[in-house]
Amino acid sequence: MAGKADHRDLVIRLGEQVLAGSDWRGLEQSAILLAEVGDHTAAGRLVELLRFDRPEVLVTAAWGLKRLAVPQTLTPALAHFQLMTRRRKAAVEGDVKESGLLKGAPAGVVDQQLSQLAQLFGMTRYSPADDALRKMIPRPLNDPTWPEKVDGETRSASIWALGIIHEGKNVPQIADALEARVKDVWAPLHPPEDPRVRWMSAVTLARMMAKDKLSTLRQFCPARRPTLDPVNNACGWAIERLTGEPMPPGGTIEVAGMPFKNWLRPLDPEPTFGEK
């Protein structure tokens, strides 16, 4: 309806009325509506909703901010991102006020929210976010100061954003850290890095034109053809971007016979009455 000139103003006005309320269902849906129709005046309220007490709202608010990309929201969005990514550190140091932020939100929800904000910083090439995004590169392992609600979505989005912000500029400090992420695979008593992080690390190395990392990229795309491994494919794309060597198009995957092969076989038809 908002696509019709005679309805647009009414739809936006009613959407803004719901967004000003407190019902989480209305907040979620009005945030989606106003972001879809490009109502930039809703951006301020979306910033406030980043700290709402329902997962549906706080993630949608971050998505809406990314969709609208209003310059005035970048500073408060970064402040929220920084606060949430130092939450556990604050708890360790006894800062109860900070450590209690979004206490009831599941870890995966905060991870999704911060991922949306990291994408916002990348899409807008918001250079003041550079330091906060770089802090998401290292692997947390058992570091007690690492935010417990930051995980693969936030880290991979942050790495993607760094590639956009520094596109065409090889920053050795970032490139070295990303190379370490690509190379962080399984070893005895050492689980592998999140594949999303490795994937985006390869992409960002290419965007930064880090040609000195080609040997590592080749190591994880040895056959130079697409496979079912997204890290292999990201490395192949990166090699093509850095050297011009084309990555072959995807094709058919042939899978050798396995014990569960019969799962793919249609069941025999049910016998009819009287049939032996």
Q: Is residue 84 part of a domain?
A: no
Q: Note whether residue 51 is domain-resident.
A: no
> Residue 91: what pLDDT?
47
Cα–Cα distance for residue pair 45/212, rounded to 1 Å? 45
DSSP state of 187: B
Please name the amino acid found at residue 34: L
- C-alpha angle 176-181-186 in degrees, rounded to nearest 5: 140
Q: Reply yes or no on whether the pLDDT at 128 is more than 90.
A: yes
pLDDT recorded at residue 103: 59
269 or 189: which leads in pLDDT:
189
Over residues 127-135, the mean pLDDT reads: 97
Of the candidates 125, 133, 129, 139, which has an alpha carbon nearest to the alpha carbon of residue 159? 133
CA distance 265 to 140: 44
pLDDT at 218: 98
Q: Count other Cβ atoms within 10 Å, centred on residue 139.
A: 13
What lies within 8 Å, CB to CB, of 2 at 6+ separation is: 8, 11, 12, 33, 36, 37
Q: Supply the pLDDT for residue 89.
A: 54
Question: Within a domain: residue 35?
Answer: no
Please say if the pLDDT value at position 255 is more than 90: no
- Residue 141: per-residue pLDDT: 75
Give the pLDDT score at 146: 73
Query: In the chain, count of helices (H) and strands (E)?
Result: 14, 0
Does residue 114 lie in a domain region?
Answer: no
Indicate if the pLDDT at residue 5 is higher than 90.
no
Instruction: Assess if residue 87 is contained within a domain.
Output: no
Q: What is the pLDDT of residues 177-231, one digit of tens each?
A: 999 999 999 988 888 999 999 999 999 999 999 999 999 999 999 999 999 999 9
User: Is the per-residue pLDDT at 243 higher than 70?
Assistant: yes
Evaluate whether residue 215 is within a structural domain: yes
Confidence bin at 147 (pLDDT 50/70/90): confident
Q: Is 233 part of a structural domain of the chain? A: yes
> Rounded to an integer, what distance in angstroms lies between the CA atom of residue 88 and that of residue 48?
22
Using the CB atoms, write b or e for 79-103: b if 16+ within 10 Å: ebbebbbbbbbbbeeeeeebbebbe
Q: If you average pLDDT over residues 17-46, what whole number do you get?
A: 97
Q: 85: closest CA among 31, 54, 121?
A: 121
Say which residue, 27 or 86, is predicted with more confidence: 27
Residue 81 lies in a domain: no
In this prediction, residue 273 carries a pLDDT of: 52
Give the C-alpha distances (Å, rounded to integers) separating 136 from 18, 91, 150, 181, 202.
35, 18, 9, 11, 15
> Crossing angle for the helix pair 195-207 and 230-243, nearest 10 degrees?
10
Compare 254 and 198 and report the one with higher pLDDT.
198
Residue 206 CA to residue 243 CA, distance in Å, equals 10
How many CB atoms within 10 Å of residue 126? 20
DSSP state of 63: H
Confidence of residue 105 (pLDDT cuts 50, 70, 90): confident
Predicted TM-score of the model (pTM): 0.85
Section 50-71 average pLDDT: 96
What pLDDT, on the 0 to 100 scale, is given for residue 100?
47
Token readout for 251 is: 């094709």
Domain of 218? 172-247
Q: How confident is the model at residue 106 (pLDDT cuts 50, 70, 90)?
A: confident
Both tokens assigned to 92: 């360790």
Rounded CA gap, 99 and 89, in Å? 8
Q: Which range among 142-146, 151-155, 184-188 shows the weakest confidence by mean pLDDT? A: 142-146
Query: In this predicted structure, what is the pLDDT of residue 92?
Result: 46
> Does the structure show a pLDDT above 60 at 66?
yes
What does the pLDDT read at residue 4?
80
Pairwise CA distance, residues 196 & 135, whole Å: 17
262, pLDDT greater than 60: no
Number of independent structural domains in the chain: 1
